Amino acid sequence: MKMRGLLISAFAVAIFAASGVAGYQHVRATGAGWREIAWPFPRDGWPAGRAFRCETEVCGSEVEVYLRPEIGFCNCDTGVADDDEVDRVADLDLISERFVPLREGEVIRVADMQGRLRTYDLHLTGGVRHSAIGIAVSRGCDLMVAVAQGTGAAPDVQRVALDFLASRDITRWMTKAMDGG
């Protein structure tokens, strides 16, 4: 397991170095095979979050994950109660306003916060379609939302995204962000 992790890290470093993005503002390598990229969306009502990309060589297909806290945006008593709430809050609309859920969502726990996850077919310009995963978890009246999109099948995008969100650095960052850090 350790050897596999080392190999993936070494591969990620190689890709990172080769991509020539080391000088990109806010960009840094993080996690096995993932690198942080600039927040790709224009300013909206919430402060920008963090964005990450995993290349095909590591994740099987190119996958991007965007995550940010939305403080004071959750029903303080019920949390993320249903799939409609994931549709509303999970930032899918930043990528495209046209998304169709593939199935009913499921309960999920991320960074010790409970919420829901739902998979989508995301319609992009030019007839391009991506798989997308919307995640919204809450603590008190605050939300942490994440979207993953990729060219692979939804189960594969979901798997690599959840592995990434479960990594120690990302979990720690999400906890700190929800703590007012």
Least distance in Å: CB of 29 to other proteins?
27
Smaller CB distance to other proteins: residue 4 or 43? 43
Place of tokens 């199935």: 103
Contacting other proteins (CB under 8 A), which of 11, 61, 98, 171?
Answer: 98
Q: 119 pairs with which residues across the strands?
A: 133
Check if the beta carbon of residue 52 is closer than 8 Å to that of residue 174. Answer: no
Applying CB under 8 A, the span of 4-12, 27-35, 49-57, 96-104 interacting with other proteins comes to 96-104
Cα three-residue angle 40-142-106, rounded to 5 degrees: 80
Smaller CB distance to other proteins: residue 28 or 172? 172
Least distance in Å: CB of 2 to other proteins?
32
- Distance, C-alpha 65 to centroid of its chain: 3
Q: What is the DSSP string of 13-65?
A: HHHHHHHT-TTSTT--B-SSSEEEE---S---SS---EEEEE-HHHHSS-EEE
Least distance in Å: CB of 25 to other proteins?
23
Least distance in Å: CB of 17 to other proteins?
36
Least distance in Å: CB of 70 to other proteins?
9
Let me know how long the chain is. Answer: 181
Smaller CB distance to other proteins: residue 23 or 42? 42
- β-strands 99-101, 106-110 pairing: unpaired
* 179 touches other proteins (CB under 8 A): yes
Applying CB under 8 A, the span of 28-36, 53-61, 93-101, 157-165 interacting with other proteins comes to 93-101
Cα three-residue angle 49-54-59, rounded to 5 degrees: 140
- Distance, C-alpha 115 to centroid of its chain: 14
Applying CB under 8 A, the span of 6-14, 22-30, 74-82, 130-138 interacting with other proteins comes to 74-82
Least distance in Å: CB of 57 to other proteins?
32
Residues that contact other proteins, how many (by CB under 8 A): 27
